[in-house]
Structure 1
Amino acid sequence: MSTRNLQGRTAIVTGGGSGIGGAVTRLFVARGARVVIVDLNEEAGRSLADELGDAVVFL
């Protein structure tokens, strides 16, 4: 992945609560994106969304 700025972009990350999806979520937020996490593991998804703040929503 390039070091491109993702400011103003929104991403949907399936399995975004942990593992590779969690890493992608963190990277996208660090680069300025807003992220919607979709994960069957509700505890992990909510925990990561709480940790990362207003830039992340868990569904």
Structure 2
Amino acid sequence: MPDEQAKEDAAGEELVLISARVRKNTRKRARVFCAENDVSMQDLIDKALNEYIDRHST
């Protein structure tokens, strides 16, 4: 599974704290998504940021 491989590849990397404010509705949607898909908020945000950066890199 690609997601499992990505999780294993990232497992050894150091985690750092970042801070950002999001709209209340965005947080609610993210929490519901995480609960329904058995994924942590940490993993969701990490994957979303990486995909966004990859898609918008020149």
Name the TM tier (shorter chain). Answer: under 0.3
TM-score scaled by structure 1?
Answer: 0.24
- Structure with higher Rg: it is 2
TM-score scaled by structure 2?
Answer: 0.24
Larger RCO, structures 1/2 (Cα 8 Å, 6+ apart) = 1
Q: Decide which structure has greater strand share.
A: 1
